[in-house]
């Protein structure tokens, strides 16, 4: 699997993925729907899969002494590494943003612990929708990205609206980390659990779909 991962990073990855990782710095924007910064990583996955289609990545991979499910596993691990890297890179910017001498985020959720929990859910939703479509037909990358983007934006709209409408979200979650830490940590843990479960389901279904796919 280590070799397949090397192949993912050295041959398959679209270089723009690295640039999108730096979008974690968007958490420094004073007023912004911060989830959008994480949406861009979906675009990086899309470009990598599109690039793969144009460069016969799957045909090359399958000619190597690996099984079809190894190809899916490597792609999932690659995406998980990118997603966790983006979260890790965003943490210092979130801390910095909370300590900036400017008012709280007026547009949506604060860049706090609960935000990261809800961002994990965003990544989980993306993985579930994108890969379920992609591995049914690896040539329909655009369809997978379009539908997953719509679902992810609907999710962003719902959670950001909740920040303005729901009492709990507005008064407990959309605050600096010094307040209601316990509630935020619960959201983070639940978010991580949802991410793990949805990604695992997406992986298992993708393996099954890809095994059945005629190339």
Partner 1 sequence: MSILEVTKLKKKYPSFELGEISFSLEEGKITGFIGRNGAGKSTTLKALFNYVHPDSGEIAFLGKRFLEHELEIKQDVGLVFGGINYYSKKKIKTITSINKLFFKDWDDNAYREYMKLFCLDENKTPSELSEGMKVKFALVLALSHNAKLLILDEPTSGLDPVSRDELLDVFNNLCEKGITILFSTHITSDLEKCADNIIYIKNGKILENGNMKEFVTSYKILNLKEEQITEEIKPYLIGCKRAKEGYTALIKEEYTKNINIPAMEADLEAIMIHMEKEEM
Rank residues 19 and 212 by Cβ distance to partner 1 and give the closer one.
212
Rank residues 63 and 99 by Cβ distance to partner 1 and give the closer one.
63
Q: Does 75 bind partner 1 (CB under 8 A)?
A: no
Least distance CB 131 / partner 1 (angstroms)? 20
Rank residues 3 and 171 by Cβ distance to partner 1 and give the closer one.
3
Show Cβ contacts of residue 138 under 8 Å, excluding neighbours closer than 6 positions. 49, 52, 53, 58, 210, 213, 215
Q: Does 182 bind partner 1 (CB under 8 A)?
A: no
- Check residue 88 and give left, alpha or beta (phi > 0: left; psi -120 to 50: alpha): alpha
Tokens of 130: 């994108």
Host H or E run for residue 76:
helix 68-98
Q: Does 11 bind partner 1 (CB under 8 A)?
A: yes
Q: Does 212 bind partner 1 (CB under 8 A)?
A: yes
Q: Does 56 bind partner 1 (CB under 8 A)?
A: yes
Tokens of 37: 């910064």
Tokens of 105: 């985020």
Size of the site for partner 1 (CB under 8 A): 20
Give the one residue of 18, 19, 59, 96 binding partner 1; rule: CB under 8 A.
Answer: 59
Neighbours of 101 (CB within 10 A): 4
Inter-CA distances, 88 with 47, 136, 142, Å = 22, 31, 28
Q: Does 208 bind partner 1 (CB under 8 A)?
A: no
Give the one residue of 25, 60, 85, 140 binding partner 1; rule: CB under 8 A.
Answer: 60
Least distance CB 141 / partner 1 (angstroms)? 17
CA dihedral sign, ordered 130, 133, 139, 141: negative
CA quadruple 120, 124, 130, 136: dihedral, nearest 10? 160
Rank residues 100 and 214 by Cβ distance to partner 1 and give the closer one.
214
Rank residues 55 and 196 by Cβ distance to partner 1 and give the closer one.
55
Give the one residue of 27, 57, 82, 83 binding partner 1; rule: CB under 8 A.
Answer: 57
Rank residues 11 and 18 by Cβ distance to partner 1 and give the closer one.
11
What does the DSSP assignment read for 117-144? HHHHHHHHHHHHHHHHHHTT-TT-HHHH
Binding residues vs partner 1 (CB under 8 A): 3, 6-7, 10-11, 55-57, 59-60, 62-68, 212, 214-215
């Amino acid at each position: 699997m280590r070799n397949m991962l090397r192949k993912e990073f050295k041959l398959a990855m679209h270089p723009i993925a690295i640039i999108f990782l730096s979008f974690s710095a968007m958490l420094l924007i004073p007023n912004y729907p911060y989830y959008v910064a994480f949406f861009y990583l979906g675009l990086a996955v899309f470009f990598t899969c599109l690039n793969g289609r144009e460069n016969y990545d799957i045909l090359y991979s399958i000619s190597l002494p690996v099984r079809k499910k190894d190809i899916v596993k490597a792609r999932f691990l690659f995406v998980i590494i990118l997603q966790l890297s983006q979260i890790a890179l965003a943490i210092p910017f979130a801390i910095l943003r909370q300590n900036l001498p400017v008012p709280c985020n007026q547009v949506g959720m604060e860049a706090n612990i609960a935000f990261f929990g809800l961002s994990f859910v965003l990544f989980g939703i993306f993985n579930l929708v994108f890969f379920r479509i992609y591995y049914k037909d690896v040539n329909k990358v655009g369809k997978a990205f379009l539908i997953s983007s719509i679902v992810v934006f609907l999710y962003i709209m719902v959670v950001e609206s909740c920040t303005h409408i729901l009492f709990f979200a507005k008064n407990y979650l959309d605050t600096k980390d010094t307040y209601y830490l316990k509630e935020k940590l619960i959201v983070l843990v639940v978010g991580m659990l949802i991410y793990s479960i949805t990604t695992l389901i997406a992986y298992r279904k993708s393996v099954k779909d890809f095994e059945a796919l005629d190339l």
